[in-house]
Structure 1
Amino acid sequence: MRLGNLERSIMELLWSHPDGMLAQEVAQALPSSPAVTTVLTVLVRLSRKGMVSRQRLGRAHLYQATATKDAFVAETMRAALDEATDLAAAVNRFVGVVSPEVAEVLRDALNGRDGSAP
């Protein structure tokens, strides 16, 4: 799932505040200082995408990420590979450009798989 710049900035904040944030807090924490109404619009959009949950807290809502950043990154990688016309070429290209550290983590993860689907 691709995120726009403001969506990504908001998600970064929510990932760094796992207990959640109010829209006003999100707006104040963003360097671009968007209007609270703009932040609310984006939070509703992220909620519809299933990335954010909201819980009523008095007259406001507390917004929380529904999954960790690592889970989002993993899903993004999976979705990108699903888009590949030539899966083998895409994976080989990816493996050819990652750092040795990432290659080692991939190797360890594949070696640790028990053969069942994730």
Structure 2
Amino acid sequence: MLEDEVLAALWAAAGPMSPADVQAELGGSLAYTTVMTTLARLHRKGLATRERAGRGFVYAPAVGEAAHTAEAMRDLLARRSDRAAVLAEFVSRLSPDDEQVLQRLLREVDG
């Protein structure tokens, strides 16, 4: 999804980015207006901040990558009727390393 690609560029940046910066980071194949529209949409959704820079704006992420991903996972899970089955399937597909991380995090929450 284009919004995710633009957010990834913002997360990877050292500071706020102009639409031209984002366009270049994404390889330059997207139209400038497409990048501007996507950034404006992310700002309206509260996922990016913007501040005036000259005649235009520069953008930065308003949420961290982990928080954004966790919210997307939570939203997806909320739309399913059998949450336990979805969670069981998710856990069964984790790599051994990810499973260990999850177990450690669950112990920390319980502790």
Pair in the same fold by TM > 0.5? yes
In the other structure, the counterpart of 2:83 is 87
Paired AA for residue 103 in structure 1: E
Distance 1:105 1:74, change over 3 A: same
The alignment's TM-score, normalised by the length of structure 2, stands at 0.90
In the other structure, the counterpart of 1:112 is 108
Structure 1: gaps spanning 5 or more residues: none
* Number of residue pairs the alignment of both structures matches: 111
Partners of 2:51 and 2:27 lie apart in 1 by 25
Distance 1:91 1:14, change over 3 A: same
Superposed, which structure 2 residues align to 1:7-18 within 5 Å?
Answer: 7-18=3-14
Superposed, which structure 2 residues align to 1:33-112 within 5 Å?
Answer: 33-112=29-108
The 4+ residue runs of structure 1 with deviation greater than 3 A are: none
Partners of 2:93 and 2:56 lie apart in 1 by 45
Partners of 2:110 and 2:104 lie apart in 1 by 12
Cα displacement (A) at 1:35: 2.1
Q: Helix, strand or coil: the match of 2:60?
A: strand
Cα displacement (A) at 1:110: 0.9
Cα displacement (A) at 1:91: 0.8
Cα displacement (A) at 1:18: 4.4
Paired AA for residue 67 in structure 1: V
1:74-117 Cα shifts (integer Å, max 9, x gaps)? 111111221121111111111111111111111111111158xx
In the other structure, the counterpart of 2:18 is 22
Q: Helix, strand or coil: the match of 1:63?
A: strand
Q: Helix, strand or coil: the match of 1:113?
A: helix
The alignment's TM-score, normalised by the length of structure 1, stands at 0.85
Paired AA for residue 21 in structure 1: M
